[in-house]
Amino acid sequence: MTDRHLLRHLWGALLLCLASTIYAQEYPTRPITMVMPYAPGGPGDTITRVFAAAMQKHLGQQIVVDNPAGASGTIGTVKVARAKPDGYTLLMIHVSHATNLSMFKSLPYHPVDDFEPIGRATSGPMVVVARNEFPAKDLPEFVAYLRANQAKVSLAHAGVGSASHLCGLMMMSALGVKLNEIPYKGTGPALNDLMGGQVDVLCDQTSGTVPSVKAGKIKAYAAVGPSRLPSLPNVPASAEAGITGLDISISFGLYAPKGTPRPVVEKLTSALQKSVADPEVRNRLESMGISAVSTELATPQALAAHLKGEIDTLGGLLLKAGVKAN
């Protein structure tokens, strides 16, 4: 390569570097879209709106939540995978970012290769709830009723590989029952049917259920896992009834499309870290039984490690349960 060519290449690289630096310094200059791939009104939507409201304060631009729901969250997720990597389209998602890799033979994106992790946002427990007229006065009676009437009991969830589906699978396996699964585009619509009595049982995140339980619109039979929840102190833990093998907590994380400029990712991570440290955010989440992560976990490295762990563990659990989406 002649000196002239080398000089031209160096000059080009310098301009490119300068342009991306100026771009990042000015970012964001217009509203950002935060995609939540489950229906409005569910636990994911609730958590997404808390962070959209908090992060827009730190970024100085409006963040609009968009819910292209369906197909176990893959419709919204692929929208972000295919978006311009300019920092204006983000994805807030949880365990289904990992499980969909095992569930779908022909997934139109790869959860790791097609995304830039921004950072983890929350973690939170799940609770088994039912319609108010469900004929069981407590957890032992609930378990006995499921075992005696399993095929007649409907179990709502947000599609294969979703948190509510995973919890439902674990519950059916732990109790040795097979319930009649009813999939929804999110547990927001599922909760409406539960309150209306059209569906019987749901295992959902507390951010979707605690307000309805406290308002007496549905009833809670078990906090999933070894211990009771501060948000629902009178609800027994599933372990109290001797139910083993039922324990799952759900974490949400924020992603951008692969190729988003590093300085833009850093700006988004910084806004996420300020949000998880914001007492208003922490209190709002705690009122729903959810915890914001520490600032050390609101980082790309922590989210990448968490996603790898879920891909390695939960995908195998679903395959063992013989679950496939297509």
Q: Quick one: which segment of 75-83, 131-139, 181-189, 240-248 binds ligand MLT (CB under 6 A)?
A: 181-189
* Residue 87: CB minimum distance to ligand MLT, A: 24
Angle between helical axes of 43-59 and 279-286 (0-180°, round to 10): 170
Residue placing its CB nearer to ligand MLT in the complex, 44 or 87: 44
44 near ligand MLT (CB under 6 A): yes
Taking the C-alpha atoms of residue 127 and residue 229, their distance in angstroms, rounded to an integer, is 9
- x/- contact string, 288-307, with ligand MLT (CB under 6 A)? --------------------
CB-based burial, 249-287: b 16+ in 10 Å, e otherwise = bbbbbbbbbeebbeebbebbbbbbbbbbebeebeebbee
Nearest approach in angstroms of CB 190 to ligand MLT is 8
Owner of token pair 């378990």? 143
Q: Angle formed by the axes of helices 262-276 and 43-59, to 10°? A: 110
Residue nearest to ligand MLT (CB): 42
Q: Which residues contact 113 (CB under 8 A, 6 or more apart)?
A: 258
Does the protein bind ligand MLT through residue 100 (CB under 6 A)? no
Candidates 27, 28, 35, 42; binder of ligand MLT (CB under 6 A) is: 42
162 binds ligand MLT (CB under 6 A): yes
Q: Is 38 in the site for ligand MLT (CB under 6 A)?
A: yes
Beta carbon nearer to ligand MLT, 83 or 290: 290
In the complex, the smallest distance separating the C-beta of residue 253 from ligand MLT, rounded to whole angstroms, is 13
- Spatial distance between the Cα atoms of 139 and 58, rounded to a whole number of angstroms: 45
Residue 44 C-beta: closest distance to ligand MLT, Å:
3
Whether the Cβ atoms of residue 256 and residue 268 lie closer than 8 Å to each other: yes
250-257: strand order across its sheet = 63-66, 32-35, 89-93, 250-257, 115-124, 291-292
The contact pattern for ligand MLT, residues 219-238, with x = CB under 6 A and - = no contact, is: --------------------
Strands 219-223 and 126-130: antiparallel
Of 119, 186, 225, 257, which one interacts with ligand MLT (CB under 6 A)?
Answer: 186
The beta strands (E) that lie in 94-168 are given as 115-124, 126-130, 154-157
37 binds ligand MLT (CB under 6 A): no
Residue 33 CA neighbour count, 13 Å, CB half: 17
State in angstroms the smallest separation of the CB of 285 from ligand MLT. Answer: 14
Spell out, one character per residue from 111 to 140, where the chain touches ligand MLT: x when CB under 6 A holds, - when not. ------------------------------
Read off the tokens for 1: 């390569």
Q: Is 43 in the site for ligand MLT (CB under 6 A)?
A: yes
SS3 189: helix
CA contacts within 13 A on the Cβ side of 154:
14
Under rule CB under 6 A, residue 164 binds ligand MLT: yes
Binding residue count for ligand MLT, defined by CB under 6 A: 14
Q: Which stretch binds ligand MLT (CB under 6 A): 36-44, 135-143, 221-229, 281-289?
A: 36-44
Q: Which residues bind ligand MLT (CB under 6 A)?
A: 38-39, 42-44, 94, 96, 158, 162-164, 186-188
